[in-house]
Structure 1
Amino acid sequence: MTCPLIANLDTVRVTRVDSCGRPVCGEDNGFVFDCLASVAMNPNVEDGNDISYPAANGRNCGYKKGCPTFNGYDIEINFFSVSPEFIELTTGNPVVYDHAGRPIGYDDCSLKCDSGFALELWAEVLGDDVCSTDEGGDGAWLYYLIPWVTNGMLGDLELGSEAVTLQLTGASRAGGGWGVGPWDVMAQDAAGTPGQLLTPLGPKCHRRTIITTVAPPEPVCEYVPVTGGLCLAS
């Protein structure tokens, strides 16, 4: 594929991870939705210490630019749908249920910095060759994976005459036990057979970006089970 163009953000999936960044298997550990305004991934970088050797005569005898330190990404999700399941997965705040056991709200409690989630994003790719005749798939998407996000927290909430947008912030961490993940996100062969990532992220990596011909999951706006990948062996 040559010079693909990125269209709008399509779908977002969050998956619960434990305190070591490993996917948590089970019925209530995933969530897929598309009712959001934007997702920002802002690099958190500390400037390095520059080294300079100024001579007494005013001449600079030598200079070395300091190497910045990359701490990860500060995540900002702006969304419209007040889903108790999404908020519970990303912040750790408990869900409130009705008499029939349906989620109807959530409690705002103390911050749970030991909770975490993986964040996956799909954005449609535009181009003349996204529907290649010799490969499977019905198009192409730019796929982002941040496998370990912590410190999820809801931002300010203002109710008034305009549309309400909620904001969630968090921070990425490197390492963790996501591995190749529990989901089918990329082609495994020339026929386009969906499967997991072929290789895990490195221990110092925070994000992976690939072009995939495997379509994003359908938004359902409720918990989805995490059952693939390592969950099959557990």
Structure 2
Amino acid sequence: MPCPLIANADVIRVTRVDRCGRPVCGEDNGFVFDCFATLAMNPNTEDGDDIAYTAANGRQCGFKRGCPSFNGYDIELSFFSVSPEFIEITTGNPPVYGFDGKPIGYDDCSLKCDSGFALELWAEVLGEDVCDADGGDGAWIYFLMPWVTNGMLGDLEIGNEAVSLTLTGATRAGGGWARGPYDVMPTNLAGTPGPLLTPLGPTCHRRTLVTSVAPPEPVCDYTPVLCGTSA
């Protein structure tokens, strides 16, 4: 599949990470959903300083273009489902529980800059040969941003139209995601699902690849994060 075409976005998974960017294991540390409209990943850069060598007579003797600095991605997720579990993982806002101990809402509190989450997105791939890839049942473009911080909800307006919410955040490089706690790509010619074959480098903010391993099913509840030797 040399030239994959990205179709519609399919599924997003968020995973709680600690203040060092490592996935947190446990029953209540993941969430998978598909009720979202868009995910923007906007590069945050700073222009470098250009250096110009100008002679006394005004003639330019030399010029060196400054090297921009890449600070990461500013993300903006537009979504519809008001899930206390998702909001708790991404923003740190505490859930409100009902009589049966299940989350029924959330509180808007001070911004927790020491919390973080990983964000994975699967988007369908178009092509006649997608079902031949590694013996799978299709193919997806897989995006991974293993360390997102400063999660915050945006403006909320409720009226007579469909209501959407906005989550913003910013990626960080490094962290301890390593190969990850999930099976997201084929690891051999037989198409056996497994974790990432190689971890992201210490200066990397995002990974994008084509995979024949299907995304997880959306579940309107916490999902477990089972960390093994791959994480």
TM-score w.r.t. length of structure 2: 0.98
Q: Which residue of 2 aligns with 1:178?
A: 177
Pairing 1:96–2:96 present? yes
Equivalent positions of 1:27-176 (< 5 A) are: 27-132=27-132, 135-176=134-175
What's the secondary structure of 1:167's corresponding residue?
Answer: strand
Name the aligned partner's letter for residue 192 of structure 1: G
Distance 1:5 1:73 in 2: 22
What's the secondary structure of 2:90's corresponding residue?
Answer: helix
What's the secondary structure of 2:44's corresponding residue?
Answer: strand
Name the aligned partner's letter for residue 164 of structure 2: T
Shift of residue 218 of structure 1? 0.2
What's the secondary structure of 1:77's corresponding residue?
Answer: strand
What's the secondary structure of 1:89's corresponding residue?
Answer: helix
Distance 2:114 2:227 in 1: 24
Shift of residue 165 of structure 1? 0.7
Do 1:17 and 1:148's aligned partners in 2 also have CA atoms closer than 8 Å? Answer: yes
Distance 1:77 1:68 in 2: 26
CA RMSD of aligned residues (A): 1.2
What's the secondary structure of 2:219's corresponding residue?
Answer: coil
Shift of residue 230 of structure 1? 3.9
What's the secondary structure of 2:130's corresponding residue?
Answer: coil
Distance 2:229 2:108 in 1: 32
What's the secondary structure of 1:131's corresponding residue?
Answer: helix
Distance 2:227 2:172 in 1: 23
Distance 2:228 2:213 in 1: 16
TM-score w.r.t. length of structure 1: 0.97
Name the aligned partner's letter for residue 202 of structure 2: P
Distance 2:55 2:173 in 1: 42
Shift of residue 231 of structure 1? 8.1
Percent identical pairs in the alignment equals 76
Do 1:184 and 1:194's aligned partners in 2 also have CA atoms closer than 8 Å? Answer: yes
Which consecutive segments of 4 or more residues in structure 1 shift more than 6 A?
none
Distance 1:217 1:147 in 2: 17
Name the aligned partner's letter for residue 131 of structure 1: C
Shift of residue 229 of structure 1? 3.1
Name the aligned partner's letter for residue 116 of structure 1: G
Show CA shifts across 1:84-141 (max 9, x none): 00000000000001000111000000000000000000000011111117x3210100
More divergent stretch after superposition (220-229 vs 190-199): 220-229
Do 1:47 and 1:67's aligned partners in 2 also have CA atoms closer than 8 Å? Answer: yes
Q: How many residues align?
A: 231
**Structure 1 unmatched runs, 5+:** none
Distance 1:229 1:71 in 2: 31
Do 2:179 and 2:230's aligned partners in 1 also have CA atoms closer than 8 Å? Answer: no
What's the secondary structure of 2:110's corresponding residue?
Answer: coil
Do 2:45 and 2:68's aligned partners in 1 also have CA atoms closer than 8 Å? Answer: yes
Do 1:183 and 1:229's aligned partners in 2 also have CA atoms closer than 8 Å? Answer: no
Q: Which residue of 2 aligns with 1:207?
A: 206
